[in-house]
Structure 1
Amino acid sequence: MKDWLNKKRLLAIGGVLVVVVGMLVGVFLIANQGSFSLVSKAGPTATPRQVEISNVDSESFTVSWISDTQVSGFVKYGESPSDLKKTISDDRDQLSGSVGLYTTHYITVRGLMANTDYYFVIGSGSETYKDENEAVYKIRTAPTVSAPESDMISGKVVMADGQPVPGAVVYVEIEGGVLRSAQTKNSGVWTLPLSLTRTEDLSSYVAYDRETTQLNIFVQAAELGTATAVVTTGNDSPVPDIVLGESLEVVEDVGEGATSSGELQQSRLEIVDGALAQRQLTVAAGTLVTVINKDEENHSVTAVGREFDTGVIGGGSEGSFSAPDEAGTYAFYDSVNPDLEGMKGEILVIAQMVEETQEATEAAELGSGFGDIGGSYPEIDEAYEATLSVKLVTEIDPGENVATSTPEIKIAGPVGQKIKITVHSDPQTEEVTIGEDGEIGWTPPKELEPGEHTLEIEYQDENGVWQKIVRSFVVLADEPTTGQGGLPAFSATPSATLTPTMSLTPTPTATGSATDSGRATMPSTESGVPESGVLTLTLAIFMMGVGLFAGGVVWQYRLIKRYSS
């Protein structure tokens, strides 16, 4: 009997030891959940990768990243790391009025105070993420300084088959400046004000040569791929089409840009050692193209369809031709040496700029500041708007649906530029002036009725030519009485309340971190990221251990009771 009892006691003691070991293992798993392989992973494909902070200015900054699968994105921010009460969603959500799922995420935080520290966490999918050091991101806005003369950069991102790429993030880096970025529209077109690039210490705007400064461009389109481009400021408006999966390098000057009304734009081609230094050229209709023959042999630049022809250009001489008036792509060759492959190329002709009308001239002579130019101007081609000094910063695709009756319109341009803003079909007109920061925000004084509206931005440029930018949009009937209801405006503000319907658990880690200076570098192409974990398996082991321990105690009690009896 005594041996039997000793064996039972040993079994009970062994059971207790197993329970204790199980509990210790559970504690170990809890402490090492990020590295121990038995812990189940919580949606690593939603984890932000290649987090970048760009467009840091006195009142705004942009946060962008990519995820492996389509998830919603948002940013929670505030002036204290423990008080992140404000939430803002993806820029596209601000336009559509609903939460979308994306693999490229682009969020602009606006309406901030100058020279102030802000803190934020990134929301991607059902989780929020801190920086790589498990700290809340920190960024400092720039001080307020007078903006320089407006200078815009633009371009288009396409697939290899020429199809536009919407939603891609385009990063632009200029020496001595913080990172700039823009997101492509549905048409693949992107624009950004290069002149508003801050210096690395944010104290002023970067000074650069507007013809020869090199720009490094990186395009991030998540699962669709990436692309790079190197251009100069002399050929950045527009940048030649950037094709995903390819590298573009254009460092030759492609033109002097638009001149005053009645004059032709100028561009040039150079022939060196029997070949063109640049075989592709983008110009406006009617552009005067100069061809410089630095070779010893005779050459020509002749359109295959005979739309233009320089005639024979002798060695060391120059010739010229005018680009066709009709937009399109025109192939050309050397009619003197038709077999020279290096002399074959193509010219992309875009729509000519809007010329000055009689009505605008009369208005200017009367000194009214703004003339009634009505419908005298056709709608400006989107690709050509990049050549204008005044820009529509708020991205509005033609016929786009907006979910507020009081949309905020952002406009950039030269400081002191007078602008006339009109909204039809509920006519509202107001004259405004570009402020010292080079931008101005405008909201219709009266709420817009649901339905289609047309926005017209009119101004007189430095040459006395009246220009017009036109956009159409549709105001949805959802909560039209406020600009801050369940659906957001064009531009996000600190009071925006659009929040994805998800639970927030700020624990996992994301790559990338903000610095106090606001400086960001070109995005890395490395994909390695830390993986987040959950305690599901560990808690199960812990509960099982507790159950075994309780069972062991009960069993031991029964043995003691039986022995005592």
Structure 2
Amino acid sequence: MKREFRLPTLVGLLVATAGLVSGLVLLREPIGQRLQASAEETPREVKVTNISDVGFVVSWITDKAVAGYVQYGEGEAGGQLAGSDERDQEKGSVGNYFTHFVSVKGLKPDTVYGFKLGSGRSTYDQAGKLYRVTTGPVLADTPEADVAYGQVNTGNGDPAEGSIVYLQIGTNVPQATLVKANGSFVIPISTMRTATLAQFSTYEKQNQEEELFVQGGALGTAAVTTTTGNDEPVPNITLGKIYDYRGVTTEEEATASAQTSKFTAVSLGPVTEVMEEGSILILSPQEEEKINSPRPQIIGRGPAGAKLTVEIRSQHIITQNVTVDGNGDFSVSVPKDIEPGEHTISISAVINGVVKKVTRTFTVYAIGESNLPAFSATPSATLVPTARPSPTSTPTPTIKPSPTLKPSPTPTTVPGTTVTPTLRPTATPTLGPTIAPSPTPMPVIPPTGNDLPTWIVVIAGMLLVIGGTHLYRKAG
């Protein structure tokens, strides 16, 4: 009788073993998915442009639409302050993008700054070292305004919103800007500096060769070679094409004569992910920023799932609670108007058994005191993970250059902001005169499937083991 029940027992053991092996193989897929997500969030083609005496611009792309920001500070203090994407500053909430464009402002002249990149759930530097950039000296006698402007569309004819337009004339400091929702762009070139930053660049206003490169991330790229006399406007640009307008006037001639892009602003690299966790970061408002809204939007980053206490101190204390979302973002709307004057934000949380706290001061203008745009908060505290919008077709407006460019008000950023431990895993690059090639993309891992079959196989195997054992004992 015992031998009659050995077969089910052996079958159960074999099925259980097969289920366990299959389970281990299938359950490895989420790990692969996490590796893939990390690779997709890694910054590529990091560039520093628009260097002046008070700021600079950092831009890069990612293979996945994620939030981006820059942590910076004087010298080695690369995590004291933070600047968010220019689009986040405009709308008052964190968005996810394939292209990333951060204007770091309010800096000191002739000063070395270190920075690292925040991309998705991690931060990045350059093999354990900060990227570095040195601001220029203060220059007198600002040149008469001169701009390059134009229109960028996708291959379908839609505005290429969010694309980055880079412009370079000779060896001068490259300039860059974002393409607006209607597809237009404007780049000031008269305030562009020489490579040494010691003076404004001098160029021939009609026949100087000019290189433009458009980086649309997932939308594609484009390149244009033209002259300074043909950049108001630059002929319409379509992503996926290369143009050379030297000596020709029509798009057909320009595309026929173009061979390859001549844009020479090389990317910084390679980036390295920084493995560090546990800090809270305020992206907006910036330190000592001047705000023209009685209900500012507070946005930042922190450990996913952390419960934050947000306190605004002025004549009255406003306290709110918010939970950091799964992407590490949080957004808080001030529930009522706060009076004009200086205010202090304190955000605290218990992280890994330790109280983390960061503070920031800002000023609210009285009504009519400033012409800055007002970005009012929504009525309640909410989390705002914003997906990257797809470009939509809109009529192309006629772009006219403004006769005079006036610099927009620049919030003053003081490096002394206290930010407790740096935000989660980071990576640090070194910005200097030497520019290295961009990082090699990681191999793509196939997307993860459903793990339900794994559990069905494992449970079925275990049930057979239990049933076989029971029958074996009963027969005995």
User: In 2, distance between residues paired with 1:61 and 1:154?
Assistant: 20
Flag the 1:144–1:94 CA change in 2: closer, same or farther, 3 A. same
Residue 293 (structure 2) pairs with residue 405 (structure 1): yes
Paired position in structure 2 for 1:167:
162
How many angstroms does 1:494 deviate by? Answer: 2.0
Q: Deviations 1:339-394 (Å, cap 9, x if unpaired)?
A: xx99xxxxxxxxxxxxxxxxxxxxxxxxxxxxxxxxxxxxxxxxxxxxxxxxxxxx
How many angstroms does 1:507 deviate by? Answer: 3.8
Residue 206 (structure 2) pairs with residue 224 (structure 1): no
Of the two, which has the highest radius of gyration? 1
Give the aligned residue type for 2:431: A
Paired position in structure 2 for 1:47:
42
Paired position in structure 2 for 1:514:
431
Q: Deviations 1:136-194 (Å, cap 9, x if unpaired)?
A: 11110001112222211111110123211111001111102011111111011111111
Contact residue 58 and residue 143 of structure 1 kept, 8 A:
yes
Paired position in structure 2 for 1:142:
136
User: In 1, distance between residues paired with 2:435 and 2:190?
Assistant: 17
Give the aligned residue type for 1:222: G
Flag the 1:79–1:497 CA change in 2: closer, same or farther, 3 A. closer
Contact residue 87 and residue 496 of structure 1 kept, 8 A:
no
Paired position in structure 2 for 1:504:
423
Paired position in structure 1 for 2:258:
none
Flag the 1:447–1:64 CA change in 2: closer, same or farther, 3 A. same
Q: Deviations 1:65-88 (Å, cap 9, x if unpaired)?
A: 001111101111111314521111
Give the aligned residue type for 2:162: G
Flag the 1:81–1:506 CA change in 2: closer, same or farther, 3 A. farther
User: In 1, distance between residues paired with 2:64 and 2:35?
Assistant: 18
User: In 1, distance between residues paired with 2:50 and 2:184?
Assistant: 18
Paired position in structure 2 for 1:386:
none
How many angstroms does 1:58 deviate by? Answer: 0.5
Paired position in structure 2 for 1:187:
182
Q: Secondary structure at the match of 2:90?
A: helix
User: In 1, distance between residues paired with 2:439 and 2:236?
Assistant: 26
Residue 441 (structure 2) pairs with residue 447 (structure 1): no
Paired position in structure 1 for 2:277:
none
Contact residue 118 and residue 426 of structure 2 kept, 8 A:
no
User: In 2, distance between residues paired with 1:124 and 1:46?
Assistant: 6
Give the aligned residue type for 1:84: G
Give the aligned residue type for 1:156: Q
Give the aligned residue type for 1:93: D
Paired position in structure 2 for 1:95:
90
Contact residue 221 and residue 239 of structure 2 kept, 8 A:
yes
Query: Any gaps of 5 or more consecutive residues in structure 1?
Result: 1-36, 253-276, 281-340, 343-401, 408-442, 456-472, 481-488, 532-565
Q: Secondary structure at the match of 2:190?
A: helix
User: In 2, distance between residues paired with 1:209 and 1:474?
Assistant: 36
User: In 2, distance between residues paired with 1:119 and 1:279?
Assistant: 45
Q: Deviations 1:446-492 (Å, cap 9, x if unpaired)?
A: 4359xxx9x7xxxxxxxxxxxxxxxxx97454399xxxxxxxx9865
Flag the 1:81–1:93 CA change in 2: closer, same or farther, 3 A. same
User: In 2, distance between residues paired with 1:214 and 1:101?
Assistant: 35
How many angstroms does 1:100 deviate by? Answer: 0.5
User: In 2, distance between residues paired with 1:496 and 1:96?
Assistant: 25
How many angstroms does 1:530 deviate by? Answer: 6.4
Flag the 1:130–1:527 CA change in 2: closer, same or farther, 3 A. closer
Flag the 1:506–1:178 CA change in 2: closer, same or farther, 3 A. farther
User: In 1, distance between residues paired with 2:416 and 2:83?
Assistant: 7
Query: Any gaps of 5 or more consecutive residues in structure 2?
Result: 1-31, 254-289, 296-362, 380-407, 444-476
Q: Secondary structure at the match of 2:40?
A: helix
Residue 198 (structure 2) pairs with residue 203 (structure 1): yes
* Aligned-residue CA RMSD (Å): 3.9
Mapping for residues 356-375 of structure 1, pairs under 5 Å: none
Paired position in structure 1 for 2:62:
67
User: In 2, distance between residues paired with 1:509 and 1:67?
Assistant: 17
Flag the 1:494–1:235 CA change in 2: closer, same or farther, 3 A. same
Contact residue 97 and residue 403 of structure 1 kept, 8 A:
no
Flag the 1:503–1:201 CA change in 2: closer, same or farther, 3 A. closer
Flag the 1:169–1:492 CA change in 2: closer, same or farther, 3 A. farther
Between the two proteins, the alignment pairs up a number of residues equal to: 278
Paired position in structure 2 for 1:462:
none
Flag the 1:114–1:184 CA change in 2: closer, same or farther, 3 A. same
Paired position in structure 2 for 1:34:
none
Mapping for residues 216-295 of structure 1, pairs under 5 Å: 216-252=211-247, 277-279=248-250
How many angstroms does 1:199 deviate by? Answer: 0.7
Paired position in structure 2 for 1:116:
111
Contact residue 94 and residue 491 of structure 1 kept, 8 A:
no
How many angstroms does 1:97 deviate by? Answer: 0.3
Flag the 1:102–1:41 CA change in 2: closer, same or farther, 3 A. closer
Contact residue 221 and residue 240 of structure 2 kept, 8 A:
yes
Give the aligned residue type for 1:209: E
User: In 2, distance between residues paired with 1:496 and 1:77?
Assistant: 9
Contact residue 293 and residue 365 of structure 2 kept, 8 A:
no
Give the aligned residue type for 1:405: S
Paired position in structure 2 for 1:435:
none
Contact residue 109 and residue 493 of structure 1 kept, 8 A:
no
Flag the 1:246–1:497 CA change in 2: closer, same or farther, 3 A. farther
User: In 1, distance between residues paired with 2:131 and 2:101?
Assistant: 16
Paired position in structure 2 for 1:178:
173
Q: Deviations 1:233-292 (Å, cap 9, x if unpaired)?
A: 00111101110000112124xxxxxxxxxxxxxxxxxxxxxxxx5346xxxxxxxxxxxx
Residue 440 (structure 2) pairs with residue 528 (structure 1): yes
Contact residue 403 and residue 477 of structure 1 kept, 8 A:
no
User: In 2, distance between residues paired with 1:503 and 1:81?
Assistant: 13
Give the aligned residue type for 1:73: G
User: In 1, distance between residues paired with 2:191 and 2:74?
Assistant: 24
User: In 2, distance between residues paired with 1:527 and 1:242?
Assistant: 28
User: In 1, distance between residues paired with 2:44 and 2:175?
Assistant: 18
Flag the 1:94–1:490 CA change in 2: closer, same or farther, 3 A. farther
Give the aligned residue type for 1:108: S
Flag the 1:403–1:248 CA change in 2: closer, same or farther, 3 A. farther
Contact residue 292 and residue 366 of structure 2 kept, 8 A:
no
How many angstroms does 1:99 deviate by? Answer: 0.5
Q: Secondary structure at the match of 2:123?
A: strand
How many angstroms does 1:509 deviate by? Answer: 6.3
Contact residue 53 and residue 62 of structure 1 kept, 8 A:
yes
Q: Deviations 1:402-440 (Å, cap 9, x if unpaired)?
A: 984299xxxxxxxxxxxxxxxxxxxxxxxxxxxxxxxxx
Contact residue 120 and residue 136 of structure 1 kept, 8 A:
yes
User: In 1, distance between residues paired with 2:188 and 2:221?
Assistant: 22
Give the aligned residue type for 2:94: V
Higher relative contact order (CA 8 A, sep 6+): 2
Flag the 1:190–1:249 CA change in 2: closer, same or farther, 3 A. same
Q: Secondary structure at the match of 1:155?
A: strand
